[in-house]
Amino acid sequence: MPLLIGIALLLALLIKTFLVQAFSIPSDSMQDTLQRGDRVLVDKLTPWFGSEPERGEVVVFHDPGGWLEDAETPDPNVVQKFLSFIGLMPSAEEKDLIKRVIAVGGDTVECKKGGKVQVNGHPLNESGHIYPGNTACDDEPFGPIHVPQGRIWVMGDHRQNSLDSRYHQELPGRGTVSTDEVVGRAFVVAWPLNRWSLLPVPDTFDQPGLSTAASVASAAAPGAMGLAGAVPLVLWRRRRLTGGSTAG
């Protein structure tokens, strides 16, 4: 029996470390998608194979620095700490956040008061996931912001109750989060049972041209640099040929 218990605990620890981890939702910033007290399961496996966060995904990430400095950290007892360590209970001590990815590296994102969030010039239809009665960004308009490679721009679904990327633009990264800080994607609400549901990517993030615009913008920079370098060379060759012809 002790051996079986030991194997079970070891398996739980391995699953929590490399496969799936449970997290508890501590606030209302992701309503109505997630409610305070929900338990979500987070995929930690695919990042090991180089998977990067994608637009529309709900992700858990470590505090990039300064986002949760005023937040109170719970003080669990010894049993809670142990169960959390092996993955049988959601983490209570770690300062983690959960938000929706709006833009990824290479994207340009902005939102003007009274308007919609735009990614690479394409407006997002967010009526299916933002909190009823909320506006896209009227409480804190922003942008345009160019998201550097290896970083993401995140926002809560309860826009008027979420201290997300918009409110941390004075920090290093201008409100963006490094993908190295991302724990993984939340893919299912596992508890309570009457709240069980998957967390799919909203259709608006799959609209045609959204990714193409970012790819074109990224490719345009090297092309422009090449063109800038080629123009002087062409002019020099033309001047040389013209000079040779006149002298002859």
Residues marked as catalytic: 29, 99
List Cβ neighbours of 192 (8 Å cut-off, separation of 6 or more).
37, 38, 39
Q: Three-class SS string for 49-86?
A: HCCCCCCCCEEEEECCCCCCCCCCCCCCCHHHHHHHHH
Beta-carbon contacts of 2 under 8 Å, excluding residues fewer than 6 positions away, are: none
61 with 182: CB under 8 angstroms? yes
Q: Report the C-alpha gap between 58 and 187 in whole angstroms.
A: 8
CA-nearest of 91, 111, 83 to 183 is 91
What the block records as the tokens of 65 is 């620095």
Task: Name the β-bridge partners of 189.
Answer: 40, 197
Phi, psi (5° rounding) for residue 191?
Answer: -155, 145
Q: Are 101 and 154 in contact (CB under 8 A)?
A: yes
**Distance (Å, whole) CA 214 – CA 92:** 38
d(CA 56, CA 206) in angstroms, rounded, equals: 9
